[in-house]
Structure 1
Amino acid sequence: MAQEKVRARREALGRHALIRGDAMNVVRRMADRSVDVVVTSPPYNIGLAYRSYEDRLAERDYIDWMSVICAQIARVLKADGSFFLNIAGSSSQPWLPFELITRLRERFVLQNHIVWIKSIAIEETTYGHFKPVNSSRFVNHNHEHVFHLTHKGDVRVQRLAAGVPFTDKTNITRRRHAIDRRCRGNTWFIPYETIRHRKEKYLHPAPFPVALPTACLTLHGYDENTVLLDPFMGTGTSLVAAEQLGVRGIGIDIDTRYVCVARRRLRAALANPGSDPGPAMDIDDDRADDPP
């Protein structure tokens, strides 16, 4: 198993629920068809240094484990719900994301495949950031996958709400658009802010920016009754996005420290709407090991 079994502990913060526990055990106790949107980034199985995850299983064991969890996600996801699965391979394991998504054909339709671009070079200028690799064989990995999975492939998405303004404004009238928005497409350039120290990542090896779950929620569409689930919450980025958009979030993680960080970020977002406390908050003191 990639996660040890622990007794779940649940805490309510505003409209949200933070749960310290094993994702499988918690999700299997959730009601059928109770979640509108799932946005999550599970362990990638590429040897990242998580505190409480074993991130180097045999590939078949990892895919089996994820398949079982995703079967439970399929059960709790509403008929018109969306499951956004963020995952990446590595230079030495390039097939892993595709092996997993192929297995999930048993449960879902792959409605959209979005490429999250973290860094891009345009002519001689680089935009965004990436983690460099020291290799004479491989180029740097500057993107990850966001697989948009649905039950039947027929979920209506909010293409313009998640879109961008026209560069050529004449397209607004020529193409008969009511507003200055066009579809963003399936390549999303969402860069990280500059990170120079582990504390700026909340001591987590693989956080994603708030803009990523925000874009997923916006593409699916949301209102005050929307329920978001992140079964691998990490430091709570998806719940911060949920709070900023006014939807209800349910976040699960097995690691006590990450749940504590998520709690602090969410409390700050509740106290100061639209904010995220960022790396300046103190997450390295003894209280970070307190249970939620």
Structure 2
Amino acid sequence: MLYHGDCLKVLPTLAEGSVDLVVTSPPYNLGINYRSFDDTAGRAEFIEWCKAWAAELKRVLTDDGSFFLNVGAAPANPLMPHQIVLAFTEGPGALFTLQNTFHWIKSITVETRGGEQISAGHFKPINSQRFVNDCHEYVFHLTKSGNVKLDRRAAGVPYQDKSNIARWGHTGGVDKRCRGNTWFIPYDTIKSRENDRPHPASFPIALVEQCIRLHGKGEETRLLDPFLGIGSSAVAAKRQGVKEFTGIELDDYYLSVTKDRLEEPVA
């Protein structure tokens, strides 16, 4: 189900406990040029706005549900992601518990065992004498209890050293281990931002798919994205064959892009 409107007006219409999984990326309050949203509010006003929609997410989320919150920062404003998650998790009115923190790596350079340096991924270069290029964002895993079981192996990777499969009893003989909290998920290469990614702050479909796998409910997942944008989470839900998807988007053009993407064949 896709809704056109303000999430603070749409979320109260959803039933309590009707969602298993939330994956979303709200506006970051960094002055980004969204079509239908002013991303330049004062910090205190912005935090209160975030707490308002987060309270609604808590209401619609099941007790064993997961809320994956993707938040980036600007080099000159590095505390903002942490201020948001602290507002959600601290104090007598805390809404959630921070269960895991993931680092979404957009671009990385690694050195092989043979000494070769390999670079992969995409990033927006920063022209500055003070700051280095920003190649990652946070994905905060929030739950009501801090004790939600995950399917770590479903979101895992094969062992590099296969001898570890037999050496460690917890493997059960399966060539799959927990991926950990660093996720290298590059953007797809595009030819035209206007045509291929007409949104200033979208995340990759694969990022949402990773959250679906990790939460572990498979096709029975009921997924919500209250800041749908151009529909990466909707496409991920389609690819994973989830039971139910709910998306909310304020901008009519972004919503139309989502609908077009959902008409395309599953990749």
Question: Equivalent residues in 2 for 1:26-65 (5 A)?
Answer: 26-65=10-49
Q: Deviations along 1:185-233, whole A, 9 cap, x unmatched?
A: 0010001122343225431111111100000010001233321000000
Matches within 5 A, 1:202-217: 202-217=197-212
More deviation, 187-196/68-77: 187-196
How many residues are aligned here? 255
Greater Cα shift, 194-203 or 61-70: 194-203
Q: Per-residue deviation at 1:79? A: 0.4
Which of 215, 218, 222 does residue 223 from structure 1 map onto? 218
State which of 255, 263, 266 in structure 1 corresponds to 2:262: 266
- Cα distance in 2 for partners of 1:250, 1:138 equals 38
How many Å separate the matches in 2 of 1:118 and 1:64?
29
Once residues 171 and 258 of structure 1 are traced to their aligned partners in structure 2, the CA distance between those partners, rounded to angstroms, is 47
1:97 corresponds to: 81
Match of 2:2 among 7, 14, 18: 18
| Maintained 8 Å contact 1:201/1:207 | no
Does residue 135 of structure 1 match 2:128? yes
User: 1:223 and 1:190 mapped to 2: Cα distance?
Assistant: 20
**Alignment-mate amino acid for residue 155 of structure 1:** V
Say if 2:212 and 2:218, in contact at 8 Å, map to a contact too.
no
Q: Name structure 2 gaps, 5 residues minimum.
A: 112-116
CA–CA distance in structure 2, aligned partners of residues 63 and 204 of structure 1: 23
Whole-Å separation in 1 of the counterparts to 2:57 and 2:51: 10
1:194 aligns with 2:194: no
- Secondary structure at the residue paired with 1:98? helix
What is the aligned partner in structure 1 of residue 114 from structure 2?
none
Q: State the alpha-carbon separation in 2 of the partners of residues 93 and 51 from structure 1.
A: 23
SS of 2:220 mapped into structure 1: coil
After superposition, give the CA deviation of every residue in 1:13-56 in whole Å (9 maximum; x if it has no partner): xxxx1111101110111111110000001111111111111111
Instruction: Please give the secondary structure, in 2, of the residue aligned with 1:28.
Output: helix
1:278 maps to none
SS in 1 for 2:219: coil
Q: TM-score, normalised by structure 1?
A: 0.85
TM-aligned CA deviation for residue 121 of structure 1: 1.4
Alpha carbons 1:202, 1:261 under 8 Å: kept = no
**Is 1:162 paired with 2:155?**
yes
Q: Distance in 2 between matches of 1:236 and 1:203?
A: 11
Write the distance in 1 (CA, Å) between the matches of 2:209 and 2:141: 14
- Which residue is equivalent to 1:118? 106
Deviation per CA, 1:245-264, whole angstroms, max 9, x where unpaired?
11121111000010001001
CA displacement 1:151-179 (0-9 Å, x = unmatched): 00110000111000000111111113231
CA distance 1:219–1:19, change in 2 (3 Å): same
Cα distance in 2 for residues equivalent to 1:245 and 1:125: 31
Q: Which runs of 5+ in 1 are unaligned?
A: 1-16, 276-292
**Could you tell me the TM-score, scaled by structure 2's length?**
0.93
Q: CA RMSD in A?
A: 1.1
Letter in structure 1 aligned against 2:203: F
